[in-house]
Chains A and B, each alone.
Chain A
Amino acid sequence: MGNASGRDEDAAAVDGDGADVEDGGGDSSERDFPSYGSGGANHVRRACSVGVVGGGAAAGSPPGSPGHSLSPRMFVPQTPVPPLQRAADVTPVFNQILMDEQEEYDGPPQKEIPALIVWTLGGKNVYVEGSWDNWKSRKAMQKSGKDHSLLLVLPAGVYRYRFVVDGERRCLPDLPCEIDAMGNAVNLLDVNDYVPESVESVAEFEPPPSPDSSYSFQAPEDKDFAKEPPVLPSQLHLGVLNSQNSEESCARPQHIVLNHLFIEKGWGAHPLVSLGLTHRFESKYVTVVLYKPIER
């Protein structure tokens, strides 16, 4: 009878597993007989998935834009339903019902991309209308200098739109446009979140040949290993104690000196010791030099 929870199959539907959705999913027995109880929930949800793929209200969406899909973990009332039909057999009326039913559920958030629309040909009151909301509303454009502009945040896809300039429908001829079924010119807006890469612009990288001198070093011998190591790593010879106090910012210390205690005995002719410590506090570096008397 299929998966009672419906999660596995729903995940496939949401992810757009075409074969599964087109078939209606499950085995043939599920399509031939009505199902009650836990399996019913599964059918309702699968039917919704069919609605997404079909036409109906989804036709208003731009081609290729993601439909209104269901969360795989959504709770659905378990009510008896007729057997699931193939997508091709679903009538437009039933399809519309499915779409209406589907509107009750919030799908996972779609990635929305900002798109700037600009009208450059003057006018006093400029509005824009488009297929992003099925031509339902007009949005006022903001005047900036001679131009009018509007920033929309839309899911990826291709949209049709036109301008209404001082009450007259217009389109910009120098932008992509097409003629609709009514013979009206509309502009096209391609919203996508990738930047096309120009392979030609990437210069070939030729690594320089290694210099011959880099192969001529002598292998270390016993006498090299017999040498005393340096008393202090060379990086720590940086003068934490000797750098100037200043009201302005000091140079950013190298990370190697952080949390090392530097000691300098005697200060001129004075019997004292200066202790220097550089530490980081969040994104700031502080070098503190403490002057202490030498106990006699």
Chain B
Amino acid sequence: MVMQRFSWPYGGRSASLCGSFTGWREYPMGLVGAEFQVVFDLPPGVYQYRFLVDGVWRCDETKPFVCDEYGLISNEVLVENNVQPVVQPEPSIRGTNLDEGTVLTTMPPESSSQNPGVQIAVFRHVVSGILLHNTIYEVVPLSSKLAVLDTQLPVKQAFKIMHDEGLALVPLWDDHQGTITGMLTALDFVLMLRKLQRNIRVTGNEELEMHPISAWKEAKLQFYGGPDGAAMQRRPLIHVKDSDSLADVALTIIRNEISSVPIFKCMPDSSGVPFLNLATLQGILKFLCSKLQEQAGGCSLLHNQLLSIPIGTWSPHTGRSSSRHLRTLLLSSPLNTCLDFLLEDRVSSIPIVDDKGALHDVYSLSDIMALAKNDVYARIELEQVTVQNALDVQYQVHGRRQCYTCLQTNTLLEVLEGLSIPGVRRLVVIEQSTRFVEGIISLRDIFTFLLG
């Protein structure tokens, strides 16, 4: 339990406090000097509270506050175990004893209302409110176009279509089942390339030419089994319903380590097409940003610099801890090494640096699709191709691209807005003068942080 002080320093003849920790029953506050005060012994957690001053409900606008679904504004406080306990004064100067709190007449100086821990808790509370009260249907664009591949399509054609249409992943339609049964992704192309590289001298390019997607999906279960050699278990298609909350959809994407998830319709309609769209973290983030702009309170964290927010993957030299190890690769590294790291670390991209360690570009799984152009993959060996070569192919196909970066001094709001730009999956945090890579912030990092 933690002693938590509440104060109302803005005058009045009488003041009471009620909150989620009192069952919203009113408790009188004691007048100490010029302000009303009360102390409660509370377990750690996030609580809402309000003041009743001279019969009028009031909030302290200098403290974090939230607006509930009915439009009522309450202050919010995070009670943490590491907060300095309130020193109990001598009985002679203690005020009225209450059932669930004590009015004290002497208090230690108040800790800053801008405590980052409180700000984060309040911000997460606001965000979770938005994500829980809105469905993925609301994020689906008014009008959208989706490519779908039949599972009987030859793999080579499938990857050509994905490349030409600029798709990193595409849903698969099974005619026999009459529904979407899976996804074909850039990761499939990587795995297939590596298998192909092992026996390309024996089979040539006919494997991709002839085999349908369905055969590849079956083969993948055999080739990429567990460490004991057992085949991977076929798992049902991960999907969400159009009525699912944004929080549920984001968690589905994060927990299953996928980049997007098909949205199925709750009720079948006359079109015969069971799915509505693909849900992505970026779509949810864009919607979230628009909603946060409408919020009055609880969003002060948005204006904090990245320096003070535990988010992202960081290089050890920054002194910041992160759950993942941040890798970078030299331009001269073999492409095969790059693909190894992407698969081992279960990440979607790796920052590529030059000899001086300055950021050059980011190589991501989806960039591998450039090798489908004119069957480049059939004429190269992954061990002999460098990341530089692979990026050159990418530039020939799509032109030189912008690498999206930010600084540790950028605010959370700037980061969220940057990641809301279509096509941006991650921001590389660099040191401004040298362009050294300090960290990377992905959409997954953002939602892992937001959802706590």
Q: Is the CB of A289 within 8 A of B273?
A: no
Q: Does B147 contact A (CB under 8 A)?
A: yes
Q: Is the CB of A291 within 8 A of B161?
A: yes
Q: Does B396 contact A (CB under 8 A)?
A: no
Which residue on B lies nearest to A291, using beta carbons? B149
Q: Is the CB of B144 within 8 A of A250?
A: yes
Map CB proximity to A onto B151-182 as digits: 1 under 8 Å, 0 otherwise: 01110011011001111000001010000000
Q: What total of chain A residues lie within 8 Å of the partner, measured CB to CB?
A: 31
Contact of B271 among A245, A247, A270, A281 (CB under 8 A): A281
Q: Is the CB of A284 within 8 A of B141?
A: yes
Tell which of A66-74, A95-103, A251-259 binds the partner: A251-259
Given contacts A249-B144, A267-B161, A287-B143, whether A292 and B153 have CB atoms under 8 Å apart is yes
Contact of B147 among A259, A289, A292 (CB under 8 A): A289
Which residues does chain B contribute within 8 Å of A281, judged by CB atoms? 242, 265, 269, 271, 276
Q: Is the CB of B145 within 8 A of A245?
A: yes
Which residues does chain B contribute within 8 Å of A247, judged by CB atoms? 282, 422-423
Q: Is the CB of A289 within 8 A of B269?
A: no
How extensive is the interface on chain B, given as a class?
Answer: 35 or more
Minimum C-beta distance from B401 to chain A (A): 15
Map CB proximity to B onto A270-296 as digits: 1 under 8 Å, 0 otherwise: 101000010101111111111111000
Contact of B143 among A245, A277, A285 (CB under 8 A): A285
Minimum C-beta distance from B184 to chain A (A): 11
Minimum C-beta distance from A180 to chain B (A): 31
Minimum C-beta distance from A238 to chain B (A): 13
Q: Does A248 contact B (CB under 8 A)?
A: yes
**Most chain A Cβ neighbours within 10 Å, of B140, B143, B242:** B143
Which residues does chain B contribute within 8 Å of A292, judged by CB atoms? 150, 152-153, 175
Minimum C-beta distance from B188 to chain A (A): 16
CA distance A168 to B265 in the complex (A): 64
Which residues does chain B contribute within 8 Å of A259, judged by CB atoms? 270-271
Which residue on B lies nearest to A290, using beta carbons? B148
Q: Does A243 contact B (CB under 8 A)?
A: yes
Which residue on B lies nearest to A283, using beta carbons? B142
Q: Does B137 contact A (CB under 8 A)?
A: yes
Which residue on A lies nearest to B271, using beta carbons? A279
- List B200-215 residues whose CB lies under 8 Å from chain A: 212
Which residues does chain A contribute within 8 Å of B150, judged by CB atoms? 290-293
Which residues does chain B contribute within 8 Å of A249, judged by CB atoms? 141-144
CA distance A262 to B318 in the complex (A): 56
Q: Is the CB of A284 within 8 A of B143?
A: yes
Q: Does A91 contact B (CB under 8 A)?
A: no
Given contacts A283-B142, A289-B147, whether A245 and B276 have CB atoms under 8 Å apart is no
* Chain B residues touching A, majority SS: mixed
Q: Is the CB of A287 within 8 A of B148?
A: no
Q: Does A213 contact B (CB under 8 A)?
A: no
Given contacts A279-B269, A293-B154, whether A284 and B276 have CB atoms under 8 Å apart is yes
Q: Is the CB of A282 within 8 A of B149?
A: no
Q: Is the CB of B147 within 8 A of A245?
A: yes
Minimum C-beta distance from A171 to chain B (A): 25
Q: Does B146 contact A (CB under 8 A)?
A: yes
CA distance A267 to B271 in the complex (A): 25
Map CB proximity to B onto A216-230 as digits: 1 under 8 Å, 0 otherwise: 000000000000000
CA distance A287 to B143 in the complex (A): 8
CA distance A28 to B203 in the complex (A): 113
Map CB proximity to A onto B200-234 as digits: 1 under 8 Å, 0 otherwise: 00000000000010000000000000000000000
CA distance A247 to B141 in the complex (A): 9
Q: Is the CB of A284 within 8 A of B142?
A: yes
Which residues does chain A contribute within 8 Å of B140, judged by CB atoms? 284
Q: Is the CB of B154 within 8 A of A277?
A: no
CA distance A267 to B164 in the complex (A): 11
Q: Is the CB of A289 within 8 A of B145?
A: yes
Q: Is the CB of A253 within 8 A of B143?
A: yes
Which residues does chain B contribute within 8 Å of A246, judged by CB atoms? 145, 422
Minimum C-beta distance from B109 to chain A (A): 32
Q: Does B277 contact A (CB under 8 A)?
A: yes
Which residue on A lies nearest to B145, using beta carbons? A287
Minimum C-beta distance from B15 to chain A (A): 18
CA distance A212 to B26 in the complex (A): 82
Q: Is the CB of A250 within 8 A of B141?
A: yes
Minimum C-beta distance from B185 to chain A (A): 16
Q: Is the CB of A286 within 8 A of B269?
A: no
Contact of A251 among B143, B157, B158, B423 (CB under 8 A): B143
Q: Is the CB of B149 within 8 A of A286?
A: no
Q: Is the CB of B277 within 8 A of A286?
A: yes
Given contacts A247-B423, A267-B161, A284-B137, whether A291 and B153 have CB atoms under 8 Å apart is yes
Which residues does chain A contribute within 8 Å of B265, judged by CB atoms? 281
Q: Is the CB of A287 within 8 A of B141?
A: no
Which residues does chain B contribute within 8 Å of A288, judged by CB atoms? 145-146, 148, 273
CA distance A252 to B144 in the complex (A): 8
Which residue on B lies nearest to A250, using beta carbons? B143
- List B360-399 residues whose CB lies under 8 Å from chain A: none
CA distance A225 to B122 in the complex (A): 74
Q: Which 9 A-B pairs have the closest CB atoms?
A: A249-B141, A279-B271, A285-B143, A292-B150, A287-B145, A247-B422, A250-B143, A290-B148, A252-B143
Q: 28 interchain pairs (CB within 8 A)?
A: A244-B145, A245-B146, A247-B423, A248-B422, A249-B143, A250-B143, A250-B144, A250-B145, A267-B161, A268-B164, A270-B157, A270-B160, A272-B157, A279-B269, A279-B273, A282-B137, A284-B137, A284-B144, A284-B276, A285-B144, A287-B144, A289-B145, A289-B147, A291-B147, A291-B157, A291-B161, A292-B152, A293-B153
> What 6 additional pairs, Cβ within 8 angstroms, besides A259-B270, A284-B144?
A245-B145, A281-B271, A286-B146, A286-B276, A287-B146, A289-B147
